[in-house]
Amino acid sequence: MLNLTPKRDRPLPKHPSIITDLPGPETKALVERDCSVTSPSYTRDYPLVVARGEGCMLEDVDGNVFLDFTAGIAVTATGHAHPQVVRAIHEQSAKLLHMSGTDFYYPQMVELAEKLAFRAPFPQSSTGNSTRVFFSNSGAESNEGAIKLARYYTKRSGIVAFLGAFHGRTYGAMSLTASKRIQRQGFGPLLPGITHIPYGTHASLDYLEAKLFNTVLPPTEIAAIIVEPIQGEGGYIVPEDGFLARIRDLCDRHQILMIVDEVQSGMGRTGKLFAIQHWDVMPDIVTLAKGIASGLPLGAILARAEIMTWPPGSHATTFGGNPVACAAANVTLELLEAELMENARNMGEELQASLTQLSDKFARISTPRGKGLMVAVDLLDTEGNLDPSLRDRLLTQAFERGLLLIGCGQAAIRFCPPLVVDRQQIAIALEILTELLNSQ
């Protein structure tokens, strides 16, 4: 058996510290064991075996310390093991681990539902009951439920989604997803009635209305349009100005519901609680997960109260809204509002400014795009075309220097650090990237 206790008990440094060859001996041994027992469908860009985390720093099982600009794929909003989140989890788990919010009541779930309802990006009534909340366990499950709700409410079956979208891996969510071929290949038939159009442009919405609606896709048969306010896995793509407002308008004119997938862009990551608020657009349904509970599995569907009218028994899940996850989410929301959303705004500006300087200096990276701490750059070849192999190489080389990054889109690196990241850590990340680009 391996000893997986971290090498040190002292606080982690706020900068990378690589003390072994990578992968280190304990990492190597664990990766070998993993390879023979876990599903080969997992994708690991580099061999990182994590022992503990603190803020933006992670320590591996060999005592190497990394600066984490992935946040466990945009999840650990409050940083790794934020003391207040950890305390809430400890306290709640000593009182009640599970009772199923589907069949019974407990205070943590009601408290979180109230908090989310009061903050939902819908027209608010003075009594605060203009929103209903359904709790799930993941992003896919939130989107799965949103499809069911839209179909149930509108009594229509069609859904419009976007090329490049990622909405999850379960059958309904996978049918909406159009990010990479491997995610669908061999799994059909998928959910019928889903039409994908290009993301983010007015030309695409022109095509939908002028061509598709008048030929193969009667709008009276469409239940919903589902859209990421900033496309995540697809490449951190920010849509053209007016794109989201135009979807709202189109939905209003054809009595179609607007579902906004905020699984990755929500919970303060872009500097506002919901990314859609950057465009002042009010959707009908919002789906959430990832950052909502700082790393505990939780998802949610927020819907306007007049839409979430499905009757008892029509939709439920045993673990959704688990009391420990809700306790973590309640504290997460408090921390986001106290300071972390503002930090995401400020550090996001800092990050984009630094990446802009980098792209002025190196022709191999594009200017940055995104909002708050949801930022990406494309890697380019010497002719200015997207260069996925340079991107992949940089991800590995950054890991070897103690900086954790992940890709998105065809050839992009995304920067989605925990929202506690500071100026110094951004400077360290940029220093490492500069050295790597210099050495290409």
Q: Which residues bind ligand PLP (CB under 6 A)?
A: 138-140, 143, 166-168, 228, 232-233, 261, 263-264, 289
Peptide bond into 283 cis (omega under 30): no
Closest to ligand PLP by CB, 122 vs 236, is: 236
**Coil, strand or helix: which one is 413?**
strand
What's the angle, vertex CA 27, arms to CA 23 and CA 31, rounded to 5? 105
Q: How far is the CB of 268 from ligand PLP (least distance, A)?
A: 15
Closest to ligand PLP by CB, 118 vs 187, is: 187
User: Residue with the closest Cβ to ligand PLP?
Assistant: 139
- The CA distance from 312 to 317, in Å, is 12
Closest to ligand PLP by CB, 16 vs 232, is: 232
Q: How far is the CB of 141 from ligand PLP (least distance, A)?
A: 7
Closest to ligand PLP by CB, 62 vs 233, is: 233
Q: How far is the CB of 114 from ligand PLP (least distance, A)?
A: 24
- The CA distance from 158 to 138, in Å, is 23
In a 13 Å sphere around the CA of 220, the CA atoms on its Cβ side amount to: 2
Q: Is 171 exposed, middle or buried (0-12, 13-18, 19+ CB in 10 A)?
A: middle
Closest to ligand PLP by CB, 27 vs 287, is: 287
Q: How far is the CB of 76 from ligand PLP (least distance, A)?
A: 14
**Closest to 133 in 3D by CA, of 100, 105, 109, 156:** 109
Closest to ligand PLP by CB, 247 vs 433, is: 247
Q: How far is the CB of 38 from ligand PLP (least distance, A)?
A: 17
114-129 burial code (b ≥16 CB/10 A, e <16): ebbbebbbbeeeeeee
- The CA distance from 12 to 20, in Å, is 16
Q: How far is the CB of 60 from ligand PLP (least distance, A)?
A: 23
